[in-house]
Amino acid sequence: MPFELTILGSSSALPTSDRYPTAQVLNVLGRFFLIDCGEGTQIQIRRQKIGFGRISHIFISHLHGDHFYGLIGLLSTFNLLGLKNDIHIYSPSELKTLLQPQLDHLKAGLQFNIIFHPLNFKKPQQIYADKKVEVLSFPLKHSCPVCGFLFKEVQKQPNIKKEYIKQYQIPIAEIKNIKAGADFKTASGEIIPNSRLTIAPPKPRSYAFCTDTVFLPEISSIIKNVDVLYHEATFTEKLKEWAQRTMHSTAREAAEMARLANAGKLLIGHFSARYKTVSEFEEEARAVFKKTEAAADGKTYKIER
């Protein structure tokens, strides 16, 4: 089952010729979550041949323009295409106020419902959950309220070894209990321990998105053991002072966070347009955390255990 991330934009406030502002599509088991929506996101979605109709959950980390200016165009395109699905937007509550005049102005009116879910900037909070996937928001620290997001598969129950079902004649009614951790008592009174009957389920895969933030060691416990961590790296240590002044992170700090969180892999992005290439970001980060890669627009990354 797919769990993969497509980078639509990896630039910071100023887009460049080859990097759009922040936007990503995360496909978790067939659910297409849009994370941030900088200007041009709809163009990038089209280029990636991702069906617009698959997107109904949009996560906006904060209200700086490079993270949401593409939203009105995307919603307008949904409307023009005649899409009717409810659209859920998880964002700072003020977004609704900012977009309202333009939403009201849409030709022929809006043909679908938009449900705004205000983010909690005080503490971590589950903001989405279905049977297989859950999403957590958690506060980051920047010059305006901002949240990171943790997307993870729901922990599956263990599987029962098929040969034992037959051998011990386990009734169907007992399967649920064993999956939930119970031992099994056979007809002859023998106790078969749960550990013998079951196969541990695969570890749930997870992806964390941390953009526009100072280095914040305390979030490492929230994203502990995440398979892929995206962390902003607007600057390198060379411009540390700029990073501090603008409340952004350096590549070294992003790597430090990946190390603290024991991430499987680190993707860095949100690069300042001041830098001509991203190799110096990668070098700086890899000195601290080897499995680092600079995000590239249009590239898809598998989220693997």
Is 66 considered catalytic here?
Answer: yes
Q: 157 burial class (0-12, 13-18, 19+ CB within 10 angstroms)?
A: middle
Exposure pattern of 250-287 as b/e (b: 16+ CB <10 Å)?
bbbbbbbbbebbebbbbbbbbbbeebeebeebbebbee
* Residue 64 beta carbon to a second copy: minimum distance, rounded to whole angstroms: 6
Write each residue from 95 to 134 as x if it is in contact with a second copy (CB under 8 A), else as -, in one continuous string: --xx-xxx--xxx---------------------------
d(CA 187, CA 101): 70
Q: Which is nearer to a second copy, 17 or 277 (CB)?
A: 17
Could you give the 3-state DSSP secondary structure of residue 15? coil
Q: Which is nearer to a second copy, 250 or 272 (CB)?
A: 272
Q: Does 302 bind a second copy (CB under 8 A)?
A: no
Q: Does 80 bind a second copy (CB under 8 A)?
A: yes
Q: Which is nearer to a second copy, 108 or 187 (CB)?
A: 108
Q: Which two tokens stand for residue 20?
A: 């759009």
d(CA 162, CA 40): 51
CA neighbor of 57 nearest in space, from 102, 114, 100, 1 = 114
Write each residue from 11 to 50 as x if it is in contact with a second copy (CB under 8 A), else as -, in one continuous string: --xxxxx--x------------------xx-xx--xx---
Q: Which is nearer to a second copy, 39 or 153 (CB)?
A: 39
Q: Which two tokens stand for residue 267?
A: 């993707």
* Residue 31 beta carbon to a second copy: minimum distance, rounded to whole angstroms: 24
Q: Which is nearer to a second copy, 3 or 271 (CB)?
A: 271
Binders of a second copy among 175-194, rule CB under 8 A?
none
Q: Does 144 bind a second copy (CB under 8 A)?
A: yes
Q: Does 72 bind a second copy (CB under 8 A)?
A: yes
* Residue 46 beta carbon to a second copy: minimum distance, rounded to whole angstroms: 6
Beta strands in the chain (DSSP E): 3-9, 23-28, 31-37, 55-59, 87-91, 114-118, 125-129, 133-139, 147-153, 159-160, 184-185, 191-192, 198-199, 206-210, 228-232, 265-269, 292-294, 300-302
Catalytic residue among 36, 66, 212, 227: 66
d(CA 248, CA 238): 13
* Residue 182 beta carbon to a second copy: minimum distance, rounded to whole angstroms: 55
> What residue ranges bind a second copy (CB under 8 A)?
13-17, 20, 39-40, 42-43, 46-47, 63-65, 69-70, 72-73, 76-77, 80-81, 94, 97-98, 100-102, 105-107, 143-144
Catalytic residues: 66
